[in-house]
A = this chain, B = another copy of it.
């Protein structure tokens, strides 16, 4: 039995002028919406992640405490639970699934929050990686609704270097003839495994790999054990077209590419009224702190807080680095109390 709910969106016309017909937004909530409807946290998902893969930050005693807050985790389009290449009926399935932007995602999440729950104020939006991309969008698209944001290890716009890194992942996956331009009948294993090996160098830092201790703690006896068990295992469990759909969303992420801001990046960031803590990781190879500093320089109410860590992009990530998550959790508590 599914542990999540579906919000029926009807036919959704996207920025790409394509349509998701009978679009579905899968979500899960944690805790109870209070009578004043003022205890709401929105916590979007990351690249490839589904709602249950966001749960490492949620729990009693943590900042995202379901005994205190009503936490909504909306699944990103393309992640296999909300409308995706893998679950959409023909002819819009597989490689013909429409192109979806972060703007599209957040506009539909806003409908869930307002139409389904009647919520008018959000105490906090937070998210990791592509979840941070959506977090920035929430702040800029609904500045009078969102009180606080804490995007961690992510950006408001896909940088050119980040775009290039993703080109490598995409090209490795698509180099497999079994991918068949997306019309595969069985998973393109070789391509998925190649994409995972490309990703492996980016996901964690040089320093992380230099020391062998953390690999052992994670339960891997060697580098090869880690590359197969952790990285290839991650992407083999995913649908290739879903991964490419979300990759497109990532590469085309841009807080200002929408009717409100017309491509004016500084204006979009400047419009965020929420009190913000922007938390890059010191060793993140695709969201380097320099990019976050540029973002914060345009935001009227934001603090740049760099997490000093060897864990690269996985600092606040999905439960692997407890020390960094403690730092993140403390920042979330501080921001929620402000």
Q: Which residues of A contact B (CB under 8 A)?
A: 159-161, 163-165, 167-168, 170-178, 190-191, 193-194, 197-202, 205-210, 212, 223, 227, 285-286, 288, 290-291
Contact = CB atoms under 8 A, between A and B. Distances in A.
Nearest to A206: B161
B171 A198 contact: yes
A194 B209 contact: no
Contact of A175 (B160, B172, B212): B172
Contacts of A160: 209-210, 212, 223
Given A197-B167, A200-B168, A175 B190 contact: yes
Contacts of A191: 175
Interface centre among A175, A197, A198, A285 (most CB of B within 10 A): A175
A231 B47 CA distance: 26
Contact of A171 (B159, B163, B170, B193): B193
- Interface of A, secondary structure class, is helix
- Copies of this chain present in the complex amount to 2
Nearest to A199: B168
Contacts of A212: 160
A165 B201 contact: yes
21 contacts: A159-B206, A160-B209, A161-B206, A161-B208, A161-B210, A167-B197, A168-B198, A168-B199, A171-B172, A171-B197, A172-B175, A173-B175, A174-B190, A175-B175, A175-B176, A176-B177, A201-B202, A206-B286, A206-B290, A210-B290, A210-B291
Contact of A172 (B163, B177, B198, B291): B198
Contact of A209 (B159, B175, B190): B159
B291 A164 contact: no
A223 to B, nearest CB: 6
Interface centre among A178, A190, A198, A290 (most CB of B within 10 A): A198
Contacts of A167: 197, 200-201, 227
Nearest to A224: B167
The 4 closest A-B pairs by CB, nearest first: A168-B198, A171-B194, A161-B209, A172-B172
A172 B194 contact: yes
A240 to B, nearest CB: 12
Contacts of A290: 206-207, 210
